[in-house]
Chains A and B, each alone.
Chain A
Amino acid sequence: MPLLGRAALILAFGLVVYAAVAGSYGAWRRRRLVVESARNALCGAFGVALVASLVLLAALARHDFRFTYVADHTSRELPLRYTLSAFWGGQEGSLLLWFLVLTGAASGAIALNRRLTTDVLPWTAPILGGLASFFAFLLVAVSSPFATQPAPVDGAGLNPSLQNPYMLAHPPMLYLGYVGLSIPFAFAMAALASSRNDERWLVATRRWTLAAWTFLGVAILLGAKWAYEEVGWGGWYAWDPVENAALMPWLVATAYLHSVMIQEKKNMLRVWNAVLVALAFGLSLFGTFLTRSGVINSIHSFTQSPLGSWFLGFIAVVAAGSTALILVRLPVLRSRTRLESLVSREAAFLYNNLFLVAFALTVLWGVVYPLVSEAVRGVAVTVGAPYYDFFGIAFGLPLVILMGIGPVVAWRRASLRSVGRTLLLPGGVAVVAGAALVLAGAGSSPVGLVGYTFAAFVLAAIVVEFIRGTRARRALGEPSWPRALASLVSRNRRRYGGYIVHAAIVLLLVGAIGIGAFSTTREVRLQRGETVTVDGYTLAYVGSTAERVANAKELRAHLQVTRNGDDLGTIAAGKNRYPAEGESSNEVGIRTDLLRAEDLFVIADRFDRGGSVFIKVIVNPLVNLIWLAGIVFLFGSVVAMWPDAREQARLARRFGEPEALAPA
C-alpha cells in the first residue's frame, strides 16, 4: 500500500496548490464558483491526508517494514500503543501529522464559516492552501513517509525516550496548538487582503485562537511532565530550545487573547493585533523548525534533517508576506480611538502585552543567539538557565502582579482611590501570607517569598472578583448564591474562564517555586540494608532486580520508604535496556504525597557489581501543583470557549443587518 500513500500525498499536494492558486484568482477577480471550488479542494485535501495517514497507521500496526519509516521507528517487540505513536515519532510522520491537522483545521474553520469565507473573506482558502502547499511539497518531494526498501527482519525500534505515555498525547497536542494558530493568521491576513476593516475575522476566529492556545498550553505541561519523569534530572522545565519553541508562540498568543479584547471593546490596537497574530503563527513555524531541523542541541530533538533551509525559507516568506500586507493596509488598520487613562483595564492589558511580548522576544533571542554566534563569529555558545531565570523573574513577577490588579480596575478610566480601595483586601491577604511564610521559614529564598506573596495577592483578587460579581448578580434577583454564581459565569464566560486560567497560572507559579527554590537533594551510595534520610523521608536499600519485559530489560533498585516511623511502601528506580534500539533509559522512582502535593523522586544512577547502588534522592515540595494547574487551566479554557447563545444572537444581529453573515 505505499503506492496508495504516495498517490494520496501527490493528490493532496495538487489539491492544496489548486486551493492556493485558483483560490487567489477567484478572490482577486471575485469569481464565486472558483472560490467555492478552491474551498472544496482544501476540504478534499483533508480527506486525502486522512487516507494517507490511515495507510501509514496500518503499516505501523502491521509492522510492514517495507516502509522505511516503519522500519526506522518501530520493532516487532514494541508495544502497540508506542508502535502507533511512532506516527509522530519521526520527521516524515510528524510532517504528515502537521499536514493532516492543518487541512483538518482549515476545512473545519471554512465549513463553520462557509458564507464568511466565500463572500467576505475569499482570501482565507488560498492563504490556508498556500500554507498547506509547503507541507505537502515537503511530504512529496523532500521527506516522504512512504519511501520503501527491501523489508528487514526487524525494525530499529523507537527512541526509548519516546516510549512514555505522555508522548502519546504531547506531540498531537503540540501540533494542534501550532497548527491551530494558522486559522486566526489566515483569517486576519484574508481580512487585510480583502481590505475589510470590520471585526468579522476576529469574531470568527475567537474560539479557534482560544482552542489553539489551550492545546499549546496543555502540550507544554504534558511535555514538562514527560521531561520530569523520563529525562529524570529532577526538574520539570529546563529552558531547552525545543521547550522554549512552544513557549514563545504561547506567550504571544496569550498577549493576543488579552489585546483582542481591547480591539473588541474600544476598537484600538488593530495594527498591534495583526502583528501579534502573524508573530504567534511565525513562532509556531519556528518551533516546528527547531524541533524538526536538528540545528539546535536539545534533549527533545530526535532528528537531524535537511528540512532546516526549507523551513527557514518558508518562515521568511510568511514573515515578509504578512509584514507587507500589514504595511500596505496600515491606513485601514489605524484606529482613531486613544487610551483614555493609564489607570484602566485596557491600560493593564497593554502593560501585560508589553511584558508578554518582551518575554517572548527575550526567549527568542536566547534560542537564536547560539546560532547567530556560530554563524557570525564562528564561536559556539550556549545560553543557560541563569539568562532565562533572570528574565523570567524580571517579566514574570510584574505579569503576576498585573493578573491581580487588572481584573479589579474598571474599563476606560479608574481613580487611584477606587483602585486602592478594591486592592485593600487582596493586598492585606498578601501581607499576611508573606508574614506567615517568613515565620514558617520560607525566607531562605527571597524570590520564593516574593513569588508566594504575589501568588496570595492574585488568588485573593480572583476570589474577591467572584464574590463581588456573585453578590451583584444576587442583588439583581438571582434566587440563590449558586444560581447567582452560575449566572455570573455564564453571562461572561470569557472573563470568568480567564480568571480560572489566572488561578491555574498562580498554582503553576507556586509549584514551580516549590521545586525551584525549596527542593532538597542528596546523592549517596548505598549497600544493601543501608539507609539515607532526606527531608524527613528514610529510604532503606533492600536490593535490586532484573526483569525482561515486552521490549526491554528492566534493572531496578528497590528502596523501602518510611516517614516519621510510618511505612510508605517501596519505591523502585533504575534503568531500562532496549536491545532493538541499542539504547538505555533512566527510569526514575516517584512517590507522590497528594496531601502535601510533594514528590519523593529517586534516580538510580549506577549499579555496582558488588551490589551497591548510587542513588540521587530529591524531595520536590508542591511540584504536583504544576500538574494540577494543567487541569485547572484546561477547565478555565473550556469555560471561556463554551458557546454563549446570548452572544451568538447579538453577533447575528450585528452582522445580520447588512449582509446576513454572522460568523460562527
Chain B
Amino acid sequence: MTTLALVLAAVLAVACVVLVARPFLRDIRGAEDLREPTGPERERTRLAEERDRALAALKELEFDHRTGKISDADYHAEVGELRSAAAEALRALDEQQGRRPGPVRSSRTRV
C-alpha cells in the first residue's frame, strides 16, 4: 500500500510539474510580455463605459416614464439632458476611434 501511495504521489507530482512548466515548454521565443494598455486604449475603454452608462440612463428614464415613476414634466425636463450626454459620449468615442460621428437615435422603442 505504501509503495502504491508513493507511486501515485510521484505521478501526481510529475503531472503538476508538467502543468506548471507547460507555458515554458512552448516556443518561448514567440512569447511576448504582457502589454501595458496605452493611454488611448484606456481612454477608449473609459469612453465606451461612459457611452453605455449614458445609453442605459436614457433607457431607464424611458422605462421610469412608461411605468409612471416620473411625470411627463419631469421626463421632458430630463430627457434632453440625457440625450445630449449620450450624444456627447458617442461623439467622443467616435472621435477617439477616428470615425465620423453618426446621428443619435432615440431609445424610446428599445426600453
CB distance from A54 to the nearest CB of B (A): 11
Q: Cβ of B67 and Cβ of A468 under 8 Å apart?
A: yes
Q: Cβ of A658 and Cβ of B71 under 8 Å apart?
A: no
Q: Cβ of A44 and Cβ of B68 under 8 Å apart?
A: no
Q: Kindly state whether residue B8 has any CB partner on chain A within 8 Å.
A: yes
Which A residue sits closest to B24, measured CB to CB? A33
Which B residue sits closest to A266, measured CB to CB? B53
Q: Cβ of A408 and Cβ of B45 under 8 Å apart?
A: no
CB distance from B6 to the nearest CB of A (A): 7
Q: Kindly state whether residue A389 has any CB partner on chain B within 8 Å.
A: no
Among A1, A37, A410, find the residue whose CB has the most chain B CB atoms closer than 10 A. A410
Give the contacting residue for A411; candidates B2, B49, B64; CB below 8 A: B64
- CB within 8 Å of B: which A1-28 residues: 1-4, 7-8, 11, 14-15, 18
CB distance from A644 to the nearest CB of B (A): 14
Q: Cβ of B52 and Cβ of A654 under 8 Å apart?
A: yes
A479 to B5, CA, bound (A): 65
Q: Cβ of A267 and Cβ of B53 under 8 Å apart?
A: yes
Encode A408-429 as 1/0 by CB contact (under 8 A) with B.
Answer: 1111111101100110000000
Q: Cβ of B74 and Cβ of A658 under 8 Å apart?
A: no
Q: Cβ of B66 and Cβ of A51 under 8 Å apart?
A: no
Encode B5-44 as 1/0 by CB contact (under 8 A) with A.
Answer: 1101100110110011111101010011111110001101
Q: Kindly state whether residue B92 has any CB partner on chain A within 8 Å.
A: no
A-B contact count (CB 8 A): 154
Q: Cβ of A417 and Cβ of B71 under 8 Å apart?
A: yes
Q: Cβ of B48 and Cβ of A655 under 8 Å apart?
A: yes
A37 to B17, CA, bound (A): 10
Q: Kindly state whether residue A48 has any CB partner on chain B within 8 Å.
A: yes
Query: For A465, what are the chain B residues with a Cβ–Cβ distance below 8 Å?
Result: 67
Among A14, A266, A411, A650, find the residue whose CB has the most chain B CB atoms closer than 10 A. A411
Give the contacting residue for B20; candidates A30, A37, A410, A415; CB below 8 A: A37
Q: Cβ of A198 and Cβ of B34 under 8 Å apart?
A: no
Q: Cβ of A412 and Cβ of B8 under 8 Å apart?
A: no
Q: Cβ of B33 and Cβ of A32 under 8 Å apart?
A: yes
Q: Cβ of B22 and Cβ of A37 under 8 Å apart?
A: yes
Q: Kindly state whether residue B95 has any CB partner on chain A within 8 Å.
A: no
A37 to B31, CA, bound (A): 13
Q: Kindly state whether residue A265 has any CB partner on chain B within 8 Å.
A: yes
Q: Kindly state whether residue A476 has any CB partner on chain B within 8 Å.
A: yes
Query: For A475, what are the chain B residues with a Cβ–Cβ distance below 8 Å?
Result: 66
Q: Cβ of B52 and Cβ of A650 under 8 Å apart?
A: yes
CB distance from B25 to the nearest CB of A (A): 10
A74 to B13, CA, bound (A): 31
Query: For A409, what are the chain B residues with a Cβ–Cβ distance below 8 Å?
Result: 69
Give the contacting residue for A37; candidates B9, B23, B41; CB below 8 A: B23
Q: Cβ of B23 and Cβ of A40 under 8 Å apart?
A: yes
Q: Cβ of B5 and Cβ of A1 under 8 Å apart?
A: yes
Which B residue sits closest to A472, measured CB to CB? B66
Q: Cβ of A415 and Cβ of B9 under 8 Å apart?
A: no
Asked, given contacts A1-B1, A7-B5, A35-B34, whether A654 binds B49 with beta carbons under 8 Å apart, the answer is yes
Which B residue sits closest to A15, measured CB to CB? B16
Q: Kindly state whether residue A199 has any CB partner on chain B within 8 Å.
A: yes
Q: Kindly state whether residue B46 has any CB partner on chain A within 8 Å.
A: yes
Q: Cβ of A33 and Cβ of B68 under 8 Å apart?
A: no
Q: Kindly state whether residue B104 has any CB partner on chain A within 8 Å.
A: no
Which A residue sits closest to B26, measured CB to CB? A33
Query: For A265, what are the chain B residues with a Cβ–Cβ distance below 8 Å?
Result: 53, 56-57, 60
CB distance from A659 to the nearest CB of B (A): 6
Query: For B9, what are the chain A residues with a Cβ–Cβ distance below 8 Å?
Result: 3-4, 7-8, 11
Q: Kindly state whether residue A31 has any CB partner on chain B within 8 Å.
A: yes
Which B residue sits closest to A267, measured CB to CB? B53
Q: Kindly state whether residue B87 has any CB partner on chain A within 8 Å.
A: no
A564 to B32, CA, bound (A): 82
Q: Cβ of A41 and Cβ of B20 under 8 Å apart?
A: yes
Q: Cβ of A51 and Cβ of B12 under 8 Å apart?
A: yes
Among B13, B69, B97, find the residue whose CB has the most chain A CB atoms closer than 10 A. B69
Query: For B45, what are the chain A residues with a Cβ–Cβ distance below 8 Å?
Result: 198, 655, 657-659
Q: Cβ of A37 and Cβ of B21 under 8 Å apart?
A: yes
CB distance from A496 to the nearest CB of B (A): 12
Q: Kindly state whether residue A43 has any CB partner on chain B within 8 Å.
A: yes
Which A residue sits closest to B46, measured CB to CB? A198
Q: Cβ of A48 and Cβ of B35 under 8 Å apart?
A: no
Q: Cβ of B12 and Cβ of A48 under 8 Å apart?
A: yes
Query: For A4, what are the chain B residues with a Cβ–Cβ distance below 8 Å?
Result: 5, 8-9, 12
- CB within 8 Å of A: which B45-93 residues: 45-46, 48-53, 56-57, 60-61, 63-64, 66-71, 74, 78
Query: For A581, what are the chain B residues with a Cβ–Cβ distance below 8 Å?
Result: none
Q: Kindly state whether residue A469 has any CB partner on chain B within 8 Å.
A: yes
CB distance from B7 to the nearest CB of A (A): 9
Query: For A40, what are the chain B residues with a Cβ–Cβ distance below 8 Å?
Result: 19-20, 22-23
Query: For B66, what are the chain A residues with a Cβ–Cβ distance below 8 Å?
Result: 472, 475-476
Encode A32-64 as 1/0 by CB contact (under 8 A) with B.
Answer: 111111001101100110010000000000000
CB distance from B104 to the nearest CB of A (A): 17
- CB within 8 Å of B: which A607-664 residues: 650, 653-655, 657-659
Asked, given contacts A1-B5, A37-B22, A655-B45, whether A414 binds B69 with beta carbons under 8 Å apart, the answer is yes
Give the contacting residue for B70; candidates A34, A36, A418; CB below 8 A: A418
Q: Kindly state whether residue A118 has any CB partner on chain B within 8 Å.
A: yes
CB distance from B10 to the nearest CB of A (A): 9
A227 to B99, CA, bound (A): 64
Q: Cβ of B44 and Cβ of A657 under 8 Å apart?
A: yes
Q: Cβ of B5 and Cβ of A658 under 8 Å apart?
A: no
Query: For A410, what are the chain B residues with a Cβ–Cβ distance below 8 Å?
Result: 60-61, 64, 69-70, 74
Asked, given contacts A40-B23, A658-B44, whether A7 binds B49 with beta carbons under 8 Å apart, the answer is no
Q: Kindly state whether residue A145 has any CB partner on chain B within 8 Å.
A: no
Query: For B69, what are the chain A residues with a Cβ–Cβ distance below 8 Å?
Result: 408-410, 414, 418, 422
Q: List 7 A-B contacts (CB under 8 A).
A: A15-B20, A33-B23, A37-B23, A40-B23, A472-B111, A653-B48, A659-B45
List 9 other contacts, CB 8 Å, given A31-B33, A37-B23, A410-B70: A14-B16, A33-B31, A37-B21, A44-B15, A264-B53, A267-B53, A411-B64, A414-B70, A653-B48
Binding site for A on B (CB under 8 A): 1-2, 5-6, 8-9, 12-13, 15-16, 19-24, 26, 28, 31-37, 41-42, 44-46, 48-53, 56-57, 60-61, 63-64, 66-71, 74, 78, 97, 109, 111
